[in-house]
Structure 1
Amino acid sequence: MHPRIPQQAGRDQGVRRDDNDVPLGAELAAVVAGARRRAVRDRDRHIDTAHLLHSLLESDPGVRAVFEAAQVARLLGYLVQRSIGYGLRWQTAVEESGALPGAGPAEGCSPLAALALTRTEERAGRHGRTARGVDLLAALVADPEARAVQVLEHAGIDARELSARLAREPSGDGASSSR
Protein backbone atom coordinates (compact mmCIF):
# COMPACT_ATOMS: atom_id res chain seq x y z
CA MET A 1 0.00 0.00 0.00
CA HIS A 2 1.31 3.47 -0.90
CA PRO A 3 1.47 6.18 1.75
CA ARG A 4 -1.16 8.92 1.39
CA ILE A 5 1.50 11.61 1.38
CA PRO A 6 4.51 10.65 -0.75
CA GLN A 7 7.93 10.41 0.81
CA GLN A 8 10.36 13.31 0.65
CA ALA A 9 13.40 13.28 -1.60
CA GLY A 10 16.72 12.95 0.17
CA ARG A 11 17.79 16.01 2.16
CA ASP A 12 20.83 16.60 0.00
CA GLN A 13 18.61 16.71 -3.08
CA GLY A 14 16.09 19.19 -1.67
CA VAL A 15 12.39 18.95 -2.45
CA ARG A 16 11.35 18.74 -6.08
CA ARG A 17 7.98 20.21 -6.93
CA ASP A 18 7.85 18.91 -10.51
CA ASP A 19 10.17 17.76 -13.27
CA ASN A 20 10.92 21.28 -14.56
CA ASP A 21 11.42 22.92 -11.18
CA VAL A 22 14.51 23.59 -9.11
CA PRO A 23 14.73 21.97 -5.69
CA LEU A 24 14.31 23.87 -2.44
CA GLY A 25 17.44 24.15 -0.31
CA ALA A 26 18.11 21.82 2.61
CA GLU A 27 16.72 24.28 5.20
CA LEU A 28 13.33 24.53 3.52
CA ALA A 29 13.38 20.86 2.57
CA ALA A 30 13.49 20.15 6.32
CA VAL A 31 10.50 22.47 6.81
CA VAL A 32 8.55 20.61 4.12
CA ALA A 33 9.56 17.27 5.65
CA GLY A 34 8.27 18.46 9.03
CA ALA A 35 5.01 19.58 7.42
CA ARG A 36 4.73 16.20 5.68
CA ARG A 37 5.19 14.33 8.98
CA ARG A 38 2.58 16.55 10.61
CA ALA A 39 0.09 15.95 7.78
CA VAL A 40 0.57 12.19 8.07
CA ARG A 41 0.16 12.31 11.87
CA ASP A 42 -2.96 14.47 11.51
CA ARG A 43 -4.32 12.05 8.90
CA ASP A 44 -4.71 14.91 6.44
CA ARG A 45 -4.78 14.11 2.74
CA HIS A 46 -2.36 16.88 1.77
CA ILE A 47 0.29 19.13 3.21
CA ASP A 48 -1.49 22.46 3.51
CA THR A 49 -0.28 25.97 4.25
CA ALA A 50 -1.09 25.56 7.96
CA HIS A 51 1.22 22.51 8.12
CA LEU A 52 3.95 24.57 6.48
CA LEU A 53 3.38 27.46 8.90
CA HIS A 54 3.55 25.09 11.88
CA SER A 55 6.79 23.55 10.67
CA LEU A 56 8.30 26.99 9.97
CA LEU A 57 7.46 28.28 13.44
CA GLU A 58 8.97 25.20 15.06
CA SER A 59 12.19 25.16 13.07
CA ASP A 60 13.10 28.66 11.90
CA PRO A 61 14.28 31.31 14.38
CA GLY A 62 14.16 33.92 11.59
CA VAL A 63 10.46 33.31 11.11
CA ARG A 64 9.80 33.40 14.86
CA ALA A 65 11.64 36.76 14.98
CA VAL A 66 9.02 38.24 12.65
CA PHE A 67 6.46 37.88 15.46
CA GLU A 68 6.30 39.04 19.06
CA ALA A 69 6.96 36.26 21.58
CA ALA A 70 3.33 36.24 22.71
CA GLN A 71 2.18 35.87 19.09
CA VAL A 72 4.48 32.88 18.56
CA ALA A 73 3.12 31.25 21.71
CA ARG A 74 -0.50 31.84 20.59
CA LEU A 75 0.22 30.53 17.10
CA LEU A 76 2.00 27.39 18.29
CA GLY A 77 -0.68 26.77 20.92
CA TYR A 78 -3.41 27.03 18.33
CA LEU A 79 -1.56 24.89 15.79
CA VAL A 80 -0.95 22.17 18.38
CA GLN A 81 -4.65 22.22 19.29
CA ARG A 82 -5.52 21.90 15.61
CA SER A 83 -3.19 18.92 15.21
CA ILE A 84 -4.79 17.06 18.11
CA GLY A 85 -8.31 17.66 16.89
CA TYR A 86 -9.41 20.98 18.34
CA GLY A 87 -10.06 24.20 16.45
CA LEU A 88 -10.40 24.43 12.70
CA ARG A 89 -10.23 21.10 10.85
CA TRP A 90 -9.87 20.75 7.15
CA GLN A 91 -9.38 17.03 6.55
CA THR A 92 -12.32 16.67 4.20
CA ALA A 93 -11.37 19.34 1.67
CA VAL A 94 -8.35 20.21 -0.41
CA GLU A 95 -6.98 23.68 0.23
CA GLU A 96 -7.28 25.78 -2.90
CA SER A 97 -8.17 29.29 -3.90
CA GLY A 98 -10.08 30.61 -6.86
CA ALA A 99 -8.27 33.93 -6.42
CA LEU A 100 -4.92 32.71 -7.70
CA PRO A 101 -3.86 30.65 -10.69
CA GLY A 102 -2.89 27.14 -9.71
CA ALA A 103 0.66 25.88 -9.79
CA GLY A 104 1.57 22.35 -10.73
CA PRO A 105 0.85 20.52 -7.50
CA ALA A 106 3.86 19.62 -5.42
CA GLU A 107 3.96 15.99 -4.48
CA GLY A 108 1.51 15.53 -1.60
CA CYS A 109 0.73 19.26 -1.28
CA SER A 110 -2.51 21.16 -1.59
CA PRO A 111 -2.65 23.50 -4.60
CA LEU A 112 -2.07 26.53 -2.34
CA ALA A 113 0.86 24.90 -0.56
CA ALA A 114 2.39 24.04 -3.94
CA LEU A 115 1.87 27.62 -5.10
CA ALA A 116 3.48 28.91 -1.89
CA LEU A 117 6.57 26.74 -2.52
CA THR A 118 6.82 28.10 -6.06
CA ARG A 119 6.43 31.68 -4.82
CA THR A 120 9.09 31.07 -2.18
CA GLU A 121 11.71 30.30 -4.83
CA GLU A 122 10.52 33.18 -7.02
CA ARG A 123 10.76 35.67 -4.14
CA ALA A 124 14.25 34.53 -3.20
CA GLY A 125 15.32 34.62 -6.85
CA ARG A 126 14.14 38.23 -7.20
CA HIS A 127 16.44 39.10 -4.31
CA GLY A 128 19.36 37.08 -5.68
CA ARG A 129 19.67 34.61 -2.82
CA THR A 130 18.64 31.15 -1.77
CA ALA A 131 15.19 30.74 -0.29
CA ARG A 132 14.74 31.26 3.45
CA GLY A 133 11.94 30.58 5.86
CA VAL A 134 10.81 34.20 5.73
CA ASP A 135 10.33 33.78 1.95
CA LEU A 136 8.02 30.86 2.61
CA LEU A 137 6.19 32.85 5.30
CA ALA A 138 5.63 35.69 2.81
CA ALA A 139 4.31 33.20 0.26
CA LEU A 140 2.00 31.59 2.83
CA VAL A 141 0.31 34.90 3.69
CA ALA A 142 -0.03 36.04 0.05
CA ASP A 143 -3.46 34.48 -0.41
CA PRO A 144 -6.26 35.43 2.00
CA GLU A 145 -7.87 32.02 1.41
CA ALA A 146 -4.84 30.07 2.68
CA ARG A 147 -5.30 28.05 5.84
CA ALA A 148 -2.13 29.65 7.21
CA VAL A 149 -3.90 33.03 6.96
CA GLN A 150 -6.91 31.61 8.79
CA VAL A 151 -4.61 30.35 11.54
CA LEU A 152 -2.88 33.74 11.84
CA GLU A 153 -6.17 35.58 12.02
CA HIS A 154 -7.55 33.10 14.56
CA ALA A 155 -4.49 33.89 16.70
CA GLY A 156 -5.18 37.63 16.39
CA ILE A 157 -2.50 38.45 13.80
CA ASP A 158 -3.41 40.68 10.85
CA ALA A 159 -2.19 38.68 7.85
CA ARG A 160 -2.54 41.63 5.47
CA GLU A 161 -0.35 43.80 7.67
CA LEU A 162 2.16 40.96 7.99
CA SER A 163 2.21 40.47 4.22
CA ALA A 164 2.78 44.20 3.65
CA ARG A 165 5.56 44.26 6.27
CA LEU A 166 7.30 41.28 4.67
CA ALA A 167 7.04 42.94 1.26
CA ARG A 168 8.78 46.05 2.64
CA GLU A 169 11.55 43.94 4.22
CA PRO A 170 12.20 41.19 1.67
CA SER A 171 15.37 39.97 3.36
CA GLY A 172 13.58 39.20 6.59
CA ASP A 173 16.37 40.97 8.49
CA GLY A 174 14.96 43.27 11.12
CA ALA A 175 11.38 42.34 10.31
CA SER A 176 10.52 42.23 13.99
CA SER A 177 11.71 45.80 14.53
CA SER A 178 8.97 47.30 12.37
CA ARG A 179 6.01 46.01 14.41
Structure 2
Amino acid sequence: MQNRTPRIPQQPVPNRAELDARLTVELAAVVTGARRRALRDGDRQIDTAHLLHSLIESDPAVRAAFEGGPQLARVLGYLVQRSIGYGLRWQGSVEDSGAVPLVPDPGGVVRGTDTVVRDTGMEGWSPSAASAMAGALDRAESRGDTRARGLDLLTALATDHECRAVEVLVRGGVDVDRLAARVADVAGQGVPEGGV
Protein backbone atom coordinates (compact mmCIF):
# COMPACT_ATOMS: atom_id res chain seq x y z
CA MET A 1 0.00 0.00 0.00
CA GLN A 2 1.31 3.41 -0.88
CA ASN A 3 1.90 6.07 1.70
CA ARG A 4 -0.41 9.04 1.11
CA THR A 5 1.09 11.31 3.76
CA PRO A 6 2.76 14.05 1.75
CA ARG A 7 6.37 14.84 2.48
CA ILE A 8 7.04 18.22 0.95
CA PRO A 9 10.64 18.94 -0.05
CA GLN A 10 12.04 21.82 1.97
CA GLN A 11 12.97 23.62 -1.21
CA PRO A 12 11.58 23.39 -4.73
CA VAL A 13 13.43 21.10 -7.11
CA PRO A 14 15.34 23.22 -9.63
CA ASN A 15 14.91 23.04 -13.39
CA ARG A 16 17.36 20.97 -15.44
CA ALA A 17 20.05 23.67 -15.86
CA GLU A 18 19.89 24.62 -12.17
CA LEU A 19 19.93 20.96 -11.20
CA ASP A 20 23.04 20.22 -13.25
CA ALA A 21 24.83 23.11 -11.55
CA ARG A 22 24.03 21.63 -8.10
CA LEU A 23 25.34 18.10 -8.78
CA THR A 24 28.84 16.74 -8.74
CA VAL A 25 30.10 15.65 -12.15
CA GLU A 26 29.62 12.04 -11.05
CA LEU A 27 26.02 12.57 -9.94
CA ALA A 28 25.23 14.49 -13.16
CA ALA A 29 26.48 11.39 -15.04
CA VAL A 30 24.14 9.26 -12.91
CA VAL A 31 21.17 11.45 -13.91
CA THR A 32 22.18 11.20 -17.57
CA GLY A 33 22.44 7.42 -17.25
CA ALA A 34 19.04 7.21 -15.56
CA ARG A 35 17.48 9.34 -18.31
CA ARG A 36 19.03 7.09 -20.99
CA ARG A 37 17.85 3.96 -19.15
CA ALA A 38 14.28 5.29 -18.89
CA LEU A 39 14.21 6.01 -22.63
CA ARG A 40 15.65 2.59 -23.48
CA ASP A 41 13.11 0.85 -21.22
CA GLY A 42 10.26 2.76 -22.86
CA ASP A 43 9.32 4.53 -19.62
CA ARG A 44 7.80 7.98 -19.67
CA GLN A 45 9.70 9.18 -16.63
CA ILE A 46 12.92 8.69 -14.72
CA ASP A 47 11.93 6.80 -11.58
CA THR A 48 13.81 5.87 -8.43
CA ALA A 49 14.77 2.43 -9.77
CA HIS A 50 16.42 4.09 -12.80
CA LEU A 51 18.33 6.37 -10.43
CA LEU A 52 19.37 3.46 -8.21
CA HIS A 53 20.57 1.40 -11.17
CA SER A 54 22.62 4.28 -12.55
CA LEU A 55 24.03 5.08 -9.08
CA ILE A 56 25.22 1.53 -8.55
CA GLU A 57 26.77 1.31 -12.01
CA SER A 58 28.49 4.70 -11.87
CA ASP A 59 29.49 5.50 -8.30
CA PRO A 60 32.13 3.45 -6.43
CA ALA A 61 31.17 5.11 -3.11
CA VAL A 62 27.58 3.92 -3.57
CA ARG A 63 28.73 0.36 -4.35
CA ALA A 64 30.92 0.42 -1.24
CA ALA A 65 27.89 1.30 0.91
CA PHE A 66 26.42 -2.17 0.42
CA GLU A 67 27.27 -5.16 2.63
CA GLY A 68 29.42 -6.96 0.13
CA GLY A 69 29.30 -8.37 -3.38
CA PRO A 70 26.50 -10.94 -3.02
CA GLN A 71 24.02 -8.34 -1.76
CA LEU A 72 24.99 -5.90 -4.49
CA ALA A 73 24.74 -8.66 -7.12
CA ARG A 74 21.19 -9.52 -6.01
CA VAL A 75 20.13 -5.87 -6.23
CA LEU A 76 21.72 -5.50 -9.67
CA GLY A 77 20.01 -8.72 -10.74
CA TYR A 78 16.60 -7.24 -9.97
CA LEU A 79 17.50 -4.00 -11.72
CA VAL A 80 18.73 -5.80 -14.85
CA GLN A 81 15.57 -7.93 -14.96
CA ARG A 82 13.40 -4.83 -14.89
CA SER A 83 12.87 -4.72 -18.65
CA ILE A 84 12.39 -8.46 -19.05
CA GLY A 85 9.80 -9.20 -16.43
CA TYR A 86 10.31 -7.94 -12.90
CA GLY A 87 9.51 -4.30 -13.63
CA LEU A 88 6.96 -4.79 -16.41
CA ARG A 89 4.11 -4.07 -14.01
CA TRP A 90 5.63 -0.61 -13.57
CA GLN A 91 5.47 0.24 -17.27
CA GLY A 92 2.80 2.75 -18.17
CA SER A 93 2.34 3.88 -14.57
CA VAL A 94 3.61 6.86 -12.66
CA GLU A 95 5.75 6.07 -9.62
CA ASP A 96 4.22 7.90 -6.73
CA SER A 97 5.04 7.27 -3.11
CA GLY A 98 3.04 10.27 -1.93
CA ALA A 99 6.21 12.25 -1.35
CA VAL A 100 4.98 15.36 -3.21
CA PRO A 101 1.57 17.03 -2.74
CA LEU A 102 -1.24 16.28 -5.20
CA VAL A 103 -2.40 18.87 -7.72
CA PRO A 104 -5.27 18.52 -10.18
CA ASP A 105 -4.31 17.24 -13.64
CA PRO A 106 -4.87 20.22 -15.95
CA GLY A 107 -5.18 18.22 -19.14
CA GLY A 108 -6.89 14.92 -18.53
CA VAL A 109 -5.81 11.48 -17.56
CA VAL A 110 -2.37 10.28 -16.66
CA ARG A 111 -2.11 6.62 -17.73
CA GLY A 112 -4.18 4.05 -15.93
CA THR A 113 -6.71 5.22 -13.40
CA ASP A 114 -4.63 8.12 -12.11
CA THR A 115 -6.42 11.41 -12.70
CA VAL A 116 -4.00 13.55 -10.76
CA VAL A 117 -0.38 14.43 -11.22
CA ARG A 118 2.20 15.58 -8.74
CA ASP A 119 3.71 19.02 -9.07
CA THR A 120 7.44 18.33 -8.97
CA GLY A 121 8.81 21.07 -11.18
CA MET A 122 10.86 18.39 -12.97
CA GLU A 123 9.29 17.30 -16.22
CA GLY A 124 10.22 13.74 -17.13
CA TRP A 125 10.78 12.66 -13.52
CA SER A 126 8.43 10.61 -11.39
CA PRO A 127 7.22 12.43 -8.26
CA SER A 128 9.23 10.02 -6.09
CA ALA A 129 12.42 10.54 -8.12
CA ALA A 130 12.00 14.32 -7.98
CA SER A 131 11.47 14.12 -4.22
CA ALA A 132 14.59 11.96 -3.82
CA MET A 133 16.66 14.47 -5.79
CA ALA A 134 15.28 17.33 -3.66
CA GLY A 135 16.26 15.32 -0.59
CA ALA A 136 19.79 14.80 -1.95
CA LEU A 137 20.13 18.53 -2.61
CA ASP A 138 18.87 19.29 0.92
CA ARG A 139 21.42 16.88 2.42
CA ALA A 140 24.26 18.56 0.53
CA GLU A 141 23.07 21.99 1.57
CA SER A 142 22.79 20.97 5.24
CA ARG A 143 26.40 19.78 5.03
CA GLY A 144 27.45 23.14 3.59
CA ASP A 145 28.17 21.72 0.13
CA THR A 146 26.91 23.40 -3.00
CA ARG A 147 26.75 20.11 -4.92
CA ALA A 148 24.97 16.84 -4.09
CA ARG A 149 26.82 13.52 -4.31
CA GLY A 150 25.75 9.98 -5.07
CA LEU A 151 25.62 9.04 -1.39
CA ASP A 152 23.21 11.93 -0.79
CA LEU A 153 20.88 10.51 -3.42
CA LEU A 154 21.28 6.94 -2.14
CA THR A 155 20.25 8.07 1.35
CA ALA A 156 17.25 9.97 -0.01
CA LEU A 157 16.17 6.89 -1.99
CA ALA A 158 16.61 4.53 0.97
CA THR A 159 14.50 6.68 3.29
CA ASP A 160 11.42 6.69 1.01
CA HIS A 161 10.03 3.28 1.93
CA GLU A 162 7.28 3.50 -0.69
CA CYS A 163 9.47 4.06 -3.77
CA ARG A 164 10.48 1.52 -6.43
CA ALA A 165 14.16 1.75 -5.51
CA VAL A 166 13.39 0.57 -1.98
CA GLU A 167 11.26 -2.27 -3.36
CA VAL A 168 14.27 -3.42 -5.40
CA LEU A 169 16.63 -3.02 -2.44
CA VAL A 170 14.37 -5.00 -0.10
CA ARG A 171 13.92 -7.80 -2.67
CA GLY A 172 17.72 -7.86 -2.95
CA GLY A 173 18.04 -8.48 0.79
CA VAL A 174 19.06 -4.96 1.81
CA ASP A 175 17.96 -3.55 5.17
CA VAL A 176 17.22 -0.05 3.87
CA ASP A 177 17.15 1.54 7.32
CA ARG A 178 20.60 0.16 8.06
CA LEU A 179 21.86 1.22 4.63
CA ALA A 180 20.63 4.80 5.15
CA ALA A 181 22.17 4.94 8.63
CA ARG A 182 25.49 3.53 7.37
CA VAL A 183 25.66 6.07 4.54
CA ALA A 184 24.71 8.91 6.90
CA ASP A 185 27.51 7.82 9.30
CA VAL A 186 30.05 7.81 6.46
CA ALA A 187 28.92 11.28 5.40
CA GLY A 188 28.94 12.52 9.02
CA GLN A 189 25.22 13.29 8.96
CA GLY A 190 22.22 11.84 10.66
CA VAL A 191 19.33 10.25 8.84
CA PRO A 192 16.85 12.97 7.82
CA GLU A 193 13.70 13.53 9.86
CA GLY A 194 10.80 11.56 8.40
CA GLY A 195 13.23 8.89 7.21
CA VAL A 196 14.13 5.82 9.19
Q: TM-score, normalised by structure 2?
A: 0.72
- Alignment size in residue pairs: 155
Alignment of 1:54-93 (within 5 A): 54-67=53-66, 68-83=68-83, 85-89=84-88, 90-93=90-93
Kept in 2, the 8 Å contact 1:64–1:72? The answer is yes
Counterpart code for 2:70: A
Kept in 1, the 8 Å contact 2:100–2:120? The answer is no
- Match of 1:47? 46
Unaligned runs of 5+ in 1: 1-15, 173-179
Per the TM alignment, residue 108 of structure 1 is displaced from its structure 2 partner at its CA by: 0.9
Distance 2:185 2:163 in 1: 21
- Match of 1:11? none
Alignment of 1:18-167 (within 5 A): 18=15, 21-22=18-19, 23=21, 24-67=23-66, 68-83=68-83, 85-89=84-88, 90-98=90-98, 100-102=99-101, 104-129=120-145, 130-167=147-184
Kept in 1, the 8 Å contact 2:133–2:153? The answer is yes
Kept in 1, the 8 Å contact 2:100–2:127? The answer is no
Kept in 1, the 8 Å contact 2:56–2:62? The answer is yes
Unaligned runs of 5+ in 2: 1-12, 102-118, 190-196
Counterpart code for 2:162: E
Q: TM-score, normalised by structure 1?
A: 0.78
Per the TM alignment, residue 72 of structure 1 is displaced from its structure 2 partner at its CA by: 1.4
Per the TM alignment, residue 21 of structure 1 is displaced from its structure 2 partner at its CA by: 5.0
Against the structure 1 CA distance between its residues 82 and 121, is the aligned structure 2 distance closer, same or farther, given a 3 Å change threshold? same
Counterpart code for 2:131: L
Per the TM alignment, residue 82 of structure 1 is displaced from its structure 2 partner at its CA by: 0.9
Counterpart code for 1:17: P
Q: Select the structure with the greater relative contact order (CA < 8 A; seq sep ≥ 6).
A: 2
Distance 2:65 2:26 in 1: 18
Kept in 2, the 8 Å contact 1:97–1:112? The answer is yes
Range with bigger deviation, 51-60 or 126-135:
126-135
Kept in 2, the 8 Å contact 1:17–1:107? The answer is no
Kept in 2, the 8 Å contact 1:28–1:133? The answer is yes
Kept in 2, the 8 Å contact 1:120–1:139? The answer is yes
Counterpart code for 1:80: V
Please state whether the residue corresponding to 2:187 is helix, strand or coil: coil
- Match of 1:176? none
Root-mean-square deviation (CA, aligned residues, Å) is 2.2
Against the structure 1 CA distance between its residues 159 and 19, is the aligned structure 2 distance closer, same or farther, given a 3 Å change threshold? closer
